[in-house]
Structures are given as structure tokens and as C-alpha cells.
Structure 1
Amino acid sequence: MLIKRRTFLKAGAAAGTLPLLGRTAAADEFKAGYVYVGPIGDFGYSYQHDQGRLAAEKALGVKSTYVEKVPEGADAERVIRSLADDGHKIIFTTSFGFMDATLKVARDYPDVYFEHATGYKRADNMATYNIRFYEGRYIQGIIAGMMSKAGVVGYIGSIPIPEVIMGMNAFILGMRSINPNAKIKQVFINSWYDPGKEADAAKALLDQGADIVAQHTDSPAPLQVAAERGLKGFGQASDMIKFAPNAQLTSSIDQWDNYYIDRTKAAMDGTWKTGDTWGGLKSGMLKMANYANMPDNVRKAAIETEQGIRDGKIVIFKGPINAQDGSAKVAAGQTLNDGDIAGMNWLAEGVEGDLPK
């Protein structure tokens, strides 16, 4: 059963500031910890988090530790607890499956600050943060709608949680705004990072008639498969164009730098507060890579769509929107709020294949 990824706090309604051992921490005494689900060499999601860690180190002069390739289970609690025991005063855990482990350790270490990416559970010393990845998927859908000759995109999903589902739905909404008959053929690989499975999934989807590849998985493998076949695709989390210079159309780039700098600084000076942050193009937490390997009119449409989302003139989840079976999910003129988007557990019309149970 799918569960809501987060609930939302109104601005200013978060719990009060926690003192950091009663004083401001000096940079050379302060340690920050980071826990990654994948390797920093994935050149995708975990790589971008590590770029944010390095930015915070450079900006603030703090020491930091990262642990990569941590499974989403009992190992996560062990790693998080070890970082807390070792004197790290703020710990960033960067995958949805780390949520309960982070909360459990946070309760045992009230003088340590915890930040969990993509989750929805919080405490006085545990905040949540994420990026509106779906905004980038909508732009990709616009591009695909204009460039796919078959009208079919192969989309590789990771884990069937709302964060991934909303991106898939945003993609098809963008694509169908150009081509009302467009389709997504999707497959979930039940992993965030598995280059072998990602490549096999891309090959299977292309064999089924897709002529563009999209992904919510973390390696460049699907994009490289597209390149091998002379087709196009989209990168994920970082700019992957160096892996497929003639194939990448664009990539959604996660920008964690400023968040990690600001939150670490707040922990150091005693102004840290719990709460929820969900930023996108407007906030700068999401960027789009250069629009490449496409005609000028497609590039122009992508740039205009990006600006429209940033300005609020384009609202992605605005009705009418139907589910796969044609039933109405969002009525004409209505707009999904953040809570509805964050709890999305249905696929939109035009997306083929069931959600894994």
C-alpha cells in the first residue's frame, strides 16, 4: 500500500529553535554527517547530494563525513546512530527508506539535528526537505511530445512511491499537452541505482516501440542505451550529457548546495528549526541542463515552459486530469494542493502498465 510522502507545515508554524549545546559552534569543532543510498559515483542522485556536502564544507569550513551505498533497512539505523555517537551535530539522510530509522535515532539524540530528504515524518530535532522533481518531468514531457515520432516514451521508474509517480504523471501531462494520443510505457526496477537493470529496462522499452527514454533512476545507463541505438533521452538528477553527448535532450539537476549551507549554518549558530522544505525551479533547488540535440522550436518551447512554471503561470496538476481508466481525478478548473500531490498513488491517462504492489 502506498503512503503519503509528507504532510505540510505552514510557514512559521514549525517547532521552536533547539539550542546547540548552549553555544554557537566553531567551524573547526562542528561535524556534519551524510547518508547516501547509492554510491557518489552514480553521477546522479547521490552524486548531487555529495556536491552539496562539498559546497557546505567549502562555504563554512566544517568537517563532514559521508557513508555511501547504505541499504534502506536495519543498516540505515546502524549508520545513522554511529554518526550521532561520533559527534556529528547535524545528520542528513537522503533517501525515502531512511525515514523511520532517522526518526528513531533522532528520538534518542535530542541534541543532534536530523534532516531527512523526501520523507514526511518530523520531530523537534528532525526536519524534512525535497525538490519538486515533477516540474522538470513536465518540461521533459513537452520536449518528448514535440520530438517523439512514435508518440511513445519508455520511462524507467525506481520505487513506486508518490515522488516517482507524480513525476511520471507530470511527464505524460506535458507530453499530452502537445500530442493528445501520446503514451508512456513504464517499468519499475525496485531499485534507485542498478545500472544493469536500468539498461535492460531501457532496452525492453525501446524494443516495445518507445523512441525516447526517460528515467527516475540514478545511473546514466538508460541514456547510454538510447545513444547506442541512435535515439534520445533525458538525464536524471545531474547533467549526464558527458555520458551521451548526442543523445541527452536535457536533465533535471538537483541543487542541494544552498540548502546544505543554510541548514548547517543554522545548526552551528543555534537558529535551526524543524519544518518542511519543498523547493523547485523558482527556489533554485531544481535546474534544467542545457536544452541540446533538439530543433530551435523545441528548445524555445522548453524555455518558455520552464519560465512559465517558475512564474506560476503554468500549474502542472490542474484539471481536467483523468486516471488510467479514464475516470476523473481532477475536475476541470480544480488544482491539486501540495498534500494531494505528495500523496499521489495513481497513474494518469496515457501511462500504460500497473503500479507494482
Structure 2
Amino acid sequence: MAKLNSRVGRRGFLATTAAAAVLAGTLGVPAFAAEPIRVAGIYTVPVEQQWVSRIHKAAMTAQTRGDIEYVYSENVSNTDYARVLREYAEAGNTLIIGEVFGAEQEAREVAADYPEIAFLMGSSFKEDAALPNFAVFDNYIQDASYLSGIIAGSMSKSGNIGMVGGFPIPEVNRLMHAFMAGATEMNPDIKFQVSFIGSWFDPPKAKETAFAMIENGTDMLYAERFGVSDAAKEKGVLAIGNVIDTQSEYPETVVASAIWNFEPTLDKAIAEVQSGTFKAADYGVYSFMKEGGTVLAPLGTFEGKVPQAALDLVNKRQAEIMSGDFVVDVNDTEPSSS
């Protein structure tokens, strides 16, 4: 059963209604200039889950600024998603945000019924001009994933890296491919074990999958899911984090992490809402490193332990990414073991 929560916090967003935008233009005043925007978040996983937690962090920042008022529901099943969407639409929220990877068609049908409400949804698909109030986003953090792969390639002594993901959908696939490309650039002989657990939040299953990879020779794990770093810690191997930085919890295990900063995406939406120009668009670009949407976490406890050759390559590639001289490939196809 979905959990509804009106506390300030676990993610948020905002948007404007078409009617309000027209009215603002007519009166010659900016839309929503004074009052916070009412935002509802709908999530299929607990808000502690990596991906969703980053949206929550950005929403909390926006709420602290006074830009939004925020309510949310977590653990909403895909079969119940449309119903909860409609409830929040009827409740007077001006923007609804969430992730519709398993409920794409249903979510778009609801959005079509409420053209005065803005929808910004994590999605594997693109925006549709025929549905002008439905925008999409995703965590395009392949830039930092590539850099973390360089570090992983330099730290693996066995040349065998295990990768545990949730589902082989574009948002996961592209990060894995970028990581693999970085590791291979550092060590062309690297081999990969790739597996998907069929869940966004099943730490025990992810942990067991990682154990199997360690038994099969890996000494470095790509922790796309919770549970992988626990296995690495127990078996004394290393791990690379994804989306969030968990090194404080695994100081001898997590070497580096590709961090997703949702603030640029959210701030862009805030600006569009306040100006009355929110429309169907792909917000994915605001997750790129050049936009501040992704960074490589500090090495922290692994400072001085990563080979200098890897650090030099990371610095070189990062500068080239920022200047546009190096572009990390966005490969959404399902990766496989080598």
C-alpha cells in the first residue's frame, strides 16, 4: 500500500498551470512570484533508495528557499500509480513529479486529463509535443560514471570487475557502459561480470549476486544497487558507488562514486514554472557534468591509494568533458559479461 506523506521532504518539484500562466501574462506579472508552488512526488520505491533520495535532497533545498510546498507518496506500485496521480491532481497540486518507468502509458493518459497541471517524470522515453504538460528527465551521469571506471580499472588487481544492476533499462545501461569504457581505457584487458536482479530495491538479492561474482574472481564491484557494497565489505573487496556517496558507511570498501545532483534539473523547472513557460521537454541534459548534474565524489579514505596514472587520466578527461573536447558515449543497449 502506498504511503502518503505531507512532511517537508523526500523529494519534490514544481510547475505551473497553463491557465495561471495565461493569467499572469494578461496581468503583466510573473506567475507564482510570491507563493510557493504546490508539488507532489510519487515514487515506486522507498525514498531512501539511491535514485529517489537525490530528488528528495534537491526538493528539500528548494523548500528551504521557500520555492515549493511538498507532499509525497512512496512505495506506490505500478498498478496503483495512475490512481495516486489522479488523487494528487485533484488535490490542487500544480506540479507532479515521479518516476514512471513501469507505468509510462498510464501516467501519460492521466496527464492528458489534467492539461492545467505540469508533470515532470523520470522516464526511459522522450517528451511528446502532443502532450505539452508532460516533461521527462533521467539521470544522465555517464560522465562521472566514466571517470569512476578509470579508477576501478586501476584498482582491480584481478582484472575482473563485477557489475550488479536493477533492470537493464536505458538509465542503468548507459551508466554501466560508461563505467566499462572508463575501466577499459585504463586497462584494456579488464573483464566484466554483468547481472541484473530484477528489482529496484532488494538489497539481499543484490548482495547474493555480488557474492557469486566474488566467488567467480572479481575483486572490484560496481554497486548500482544497495546490497552490493555490503557483500564487498564482508569479503574484503572494493566497490564503486553510484548516484550517492556511501564511503562514510564503507570507508575501507567504496573507492569512488559517480554522484547525481538533481538540483540543476529542479532549478531549471522552478525557473520555467515561475516564468509560465513549463512545457514538454527533455530535462536529461541537466544531469550532465557540464551542467553540474554529476560529479565524481572525493576519494576521501582512498586519497593516496589510487595510482597516479589513473588520477592523471581522470583529471585530463574531466577537463575535456567540461570543455566539450571529450564526449562520453551514451549507450542505452543492455551490457553483457565479457
The alignment's TM-score, normalised by the length of structure 2, stands at 0.83
Distance 2:164 2:132 in 1: 37
The partner residue of 2:214 within 196, 199, 206 is 206
2:5 corresponds to: none
Taking the aligned partners of 1:316 and 1:258, their CA distance within structure 2 comes to 20
Give yes or no for contact 1:59–1:261 (8 Å, CA) kept in 2: no
The CA distance in 1 between the partners of 2:312 and 2:45, in whole Å, is 35
**Which residue is equivalent to 2:316?**
304
Aligned residue in 1 for 2:116: 111
Residue 93 of structure 1 aligns with which residue? 98
What residue in structure 2 maps to residue 345 of structure 1?
A: 333
Q: 2 CA distance for matches of 1:111 and 1:284?
A: 31
In structure 1, the residue matched to 2:125 is 120
TM superposition shift of 1:265? 4.1
Retained in 2: the 8 A contact 1:224–1:243?
no
What SS is found at the alignment partner of 1:31? strand
Cα distance in 1, alignment partners of residues 66 and 274 from structure 2: 10
Relative to structure 1, the CA distance from residue 104 to residue 243 in structure 2 (aligned partners, 3 Å threshold; closer, same or farther) is same
Aligned partners of 2:46 and 2:153: how far apart in 1? 33
Of 132, 142, 145, 2:150 maps to 142
Residue 50 (1) aligns with residue 56 (2): yes
Match of 1:242 in 2: 248
1:168-192 deviation line (CA, Å, top 9, x unaligned)? 2222222221222211101100111
* Map of 1:274 onto structure 2: 280
CA contact (8 A) 1:20 1:267 kept: no
Counterparts of 2:207 and 2:231, CA distance in 1: 6
| Partner in structure 2 of residue 7 of structure 1 | none
Cα displacement string for residues 100-158 of structure 1 (whole angstroms, at most 9, x for unaligned residues)? 23211100101000011233243210111223222222112211211111111110011
Q: Within 2, Cα distance between the matches of 1:114 and 1:295?
A: 43
| Per-residue Cα deviation, 1:234-266 (whole angstroms, up to 9, x for no partner) | 112111112101211111111112322331343
- What corresponds to 1:334 in structure 2? none
1:178 counterpart residue number:
186
Measured after TM superposition, the shift of residue 54 of structure 1 is 0.8
Aligned residue identity for 1:20 = A
> Letter of the aligned partner of 1:345 in structure 2?
T
Structure 2: tracts of 5 or more residues without a match: 1-16, 25-30
Distance 1:30 1:176 in 2: 46
Indicate which of 253, 263, 268 corresponds to 2:259. Answer: 253
Q: Judge conservation of contact 1:223–1:244 (CA < 8 Å) in 2.
A: yes
Q: Deviations over 1:61-83 (max 9, x none)?
A: 42111111222x22111121111
- Write the distance in 2 (CA, Å) between the matches of 1:243 and 1:313: 36
- Measured at CA, do residues 227 and 77 of structure 1 come closer, stay the same or move farther in structure 2, by a change above 3 Å? same
Q: Matches of 1:290 and 1:95 in 2, distance apart? A: 32
| Kept in 2: contact 1:32–1:264 (CA 8 A) | no
Which whole-Å CA distance do the structure 2 matches of 1:127 and 1:121 have between them? 8
Unpaired segments ≥5 residues, structure 1: 1-16, 318-337
Give the letter aligned to residue 130 of structure 1.
D
Contact 1:189 1:197 in 2 (8 A): yes
Q: Secondary structure at the match of 2:56?
A: helix
Inter-CA distance 211–19: structure 2 relative to 1 (3 Å threshold): same
Say which SS state the counterpart of residue 282 (structure 1) adopts.
helix
In the TM superposition, residue 269 of structure 1 has moved relative to its aligned partner by: 3.9
In structure 2, distance between residues paired with 1:178 and 1:89: 48
* Map of 1:20 onto structure 2: 20
Using a 3 Å threshold, how does the CA distance of structure 1 residues 145 and 201 change in structure 2: closer, same or farther?
A: same
Structure 1 distance, partners of 2:100, 2:249, is 25
- Conserved? CA contact 1:158–1:189, under 8 Å: yes
Which residue number corresponds to residue 12 of structure 2? none
Aligned residues: 306
* TM-score, normalisation: structure 1: 0.79
What is the CA distance between 1:163 and its match in structure 2?
2.1
State how far apart, in whole Å, the 2-side matches of 1:240 and 1:303 are.
22
1:295 is aligned to 306
Match of 1:167 in 2: 175
Q: Take 2:69 and 2:291, find their aligned partners in 1: how far apart are those partners?
A: 27
- Correspondence 1:129 to 2:140: no
Provide the identity percentage.
Answer: 26
Q: 1:81 maps to which residue? A: 86
Structure 2 distance, partners of 1:162, 1:62, is 30
Shift in Å at residue 26 of structure 1? 5.7
Residue aligning to 2:10 = none
Deviations 1:30-88 (A, max 9, x none): 3111122321223x1111111111112122342111111222x2211112111111111
Output the CA distance in 2 between the equivalents of 1:275 and 1:296.
Answer: 42
